[in-house]
Amino acid sequence: MRTPKKKLYIRTYGCQMNVADSEQLALVLDSDYELTDRPEEADLYLINTCAIRRKSVEKVLSLLGRLKALKRRRPEMLLGVGGCVAQQEGQQLLRQAPHLDLVFGTHGIYRLPDLLAKQRQTGRRLVDTAFAAEMPYLCGPRPAGAVQKLVTIMQGCDNYCTYCVVPYVRGPERSRPAADIIAEVAAFVSQGGQEVTLLGQNVNSYGRGLPEAVSFPELLRRLAAFGGLARLRFTTSHPRDLSEDLMNCFAELPPLCEHIHLPVQAGSDGVLARMRRGYTQKDYLTKVERLRQVCPDIAISTDLIVGFPGESEADFQETLTLMRAAAFDSAFYFKYSPRPQTEAATYAEQVPEAVKTERLARLKEVQEQLSLASNQRLVGGVREVLVEGFSKQHNGQLTGRLRSNHVVNFDGPAELIGRLVQVHVTTAHRHSLGALLCGGQFGDQFLAASRQDHRRIPC
């Protein structure tokens, strides 16, 4: 008789890259462990971490503190921390959390079974933060019902923006061979997958150093040529490396969704230079204009940092000017926080916390107006939605995303989850849209099956 698998609980912090890494963790450990969503029954509890901001590190330390009680109740449970914080802090984490058994870095995922075996043999607390020249990628079967997939196409970064910890914790840029990516996407599509998001720190530089010279636009063309893939997305793009060839893909490739995340970070040329971003405000806005010429429906989102060392009020005003000129559809915005090893952490003119807080509030106000205006432009139109599940905020309504990545909520039956449907957009809020399910291909069939009285309009 086969020994039953042990239970694995994974808590993931950070971006989509970390979510994809957690999927790899589960696959690497699959022969001995099965995932559980109940931490209290875990035999192995892993925390996959993000170090992009100081707050993220504090969150991990606070969770470790809370886990002391669980470890006391279940001393046989192994507790491990992986990912960027583990890479950055290494041995120091073992000192800060005496109940922690394992620390493994960003390249340690695939060595985790060996690390666990060694831990079992020796009973010692272990750290593995070595970088590897090559990292394998594992492809698992499509989880039941999953129609969206994150596919890592590259790891690491060589850009060394002066505020960013990524090159230090994820190592140099390495692209995954195109044939592996295509095989993974083909398998997913053949099992009924609908939407693929390609992941990398800077996908625009994909392909450098590969034996087969494949550029990122070429990779997109090969993936878009599959029949059956409804939606193709990617993140993140460095504005400096956004080529004309890539912009043209938005006009040429039907599955490529009309959305690009293009992190600008700041609007002042002086700040951009001190960040070592490699473009000016004018360069950035020229690319935004060109994108909108090529693909008039494209939605553009961005990342913004306020309070970078030396940022004056005039610099900050430049950021607001750029935001309005670019008319961002949405944005993630943060206060600058100095990260270990980075150049900007050593800059003399750190901006006081109170100034950062006040600027962040003003920036938020501007972005919320822009986001609302972006949502209002969609009201009255009919759009395709990939239904992702039930909304937690909107009272049991279904929720999904348009091709432009706008979030939309509407009444409908559970049978629609995982399907592409048409909706008529009726209301705009700051962070989402309200809509009515259209009749037609799916609407009639599913509405008839539903006992609820869903409002709908014919489109």
Give the H/E segment covering residue 288: helix 281-294
Q: Position 336: which residue type?
A: Y
Distance, CA of 328 to CA of 307 (rounded, Å): 20
DSSP sequence for 175-234: EPPHHHHHHHHHHHHHTT--EEEEE-TTGGGTTTT-SS---HHHHHHHHHTSTT--EEEE
Q: How far is the CB of 166 from ligand SF4 (least distance, A)?
A: 4
Q: Position 244: which residue type?
A: E
Considering beta carbons, is residue 50 or 115 the nearer one to ligand SF4? 50
Considering beta carbons, is residue 154 or 219 the nearer one to ligand SF4? 154
| Largest separation between any pair of C-alpha atoms in the chain | 71
Q: How far is the CB of 412 from ligand SF4 (least distance, A)?
A: 38
Distance, CA of 34 to CA of 364 (rounded, Å): 42
Considering beta carbons, is residue 167 or 207 the nearer one to ligand SF4? 167
**The residue to which tokens 């394998």 are assigned:** 136
Site for ligand SF4 in 179-218 (CB under 6 A): 201-202
Residue 332 as a binder of ligand SF4 (CB under 6 A): the answer is no
Q: How far is the CB of 157 from ligand SF4 (least distance, A)?
A: 3
Q: How far is the CB of 176 from ligand SF4 (least distance, A)?
A: 17
23 φ/ψ angles, rounded to the nearest 5 degrees? -65, -40
Considering beta carbons, is residue 7 or 277 the nearer one to ligand SF4? 277
Q: How far is the CB of 305 from ligand SF4 (least distance, A)?
A: 10
Site for ligand SF4 in 147-176 (CB under 6 A): 157, 159-161, 164, 166-167
- Check if the beta carbon of residue 60 is closer than 8 Å to that of residue 92: no
Q: How far is the CB of 137 from ligand SF4 (least distance, A)?
A: 19
347 CB neighbour count, 10 Å cutoff? 15
Considering beta carbons, is residue 202 or 399 the nearer one to ligand SF4? 202
Query: Both tokens of residue 435?
Result: 């809509």
Considering beta carbons, is residue 275 or 421 the nearer one to ligand SF4? 275
Number of residues this chain uses to bind ligand SF4 (CB under 6 A): 10
Helix 353-376 vs helix 313-326: crossing angle, to nearest 10: 10
Site for ligand SF4 in 282-301 (CB under 6 A): none
- Check if the beta carbon of residue 217 is closer than 8 Å to that of residue 246: yes
- Check if the beta carbon of residue 370 is closer than 8 Å to that of residue 327: yes
Query: Both tokens of residue 384?
Result: 């395709």
Considering beta carbons, is residue 77 or 166 the nearer one to ligand SF4? 166
Bridge partner list, 399: 389, 409
Q: How far is the CB of 201 from ligand SF4 (least distance, A)?
A: 4
Distance, CA of 338 to CA of 53 (rounded, Å): 8
Q: How far is the CB of 160 from ligand SF4 (least distance, A)?
A: 6
Site for ligand SF4 in 229-248 (CB under 6 A): 238
Q: How far is the CB of 301 from ligand SF4 (least distance, A)?
A: 15
Considering beta carbons, is residue 48 or 159 the nearer one to ligand SF4? 159
Considering beta carbons, is residue 168 or 390 the nearer one to ligand SF4? 168
Distance, CA of 458 to CA of 135 (rounded, Å): 51
Distance, CA of 444 to CA of 314 (rounded, Å): 56
User: Residue numbers of the site for ligand SF4 (CB under 6 A)?
Assistant: 157, 159-161, 164, 166-167, 201-202, 238
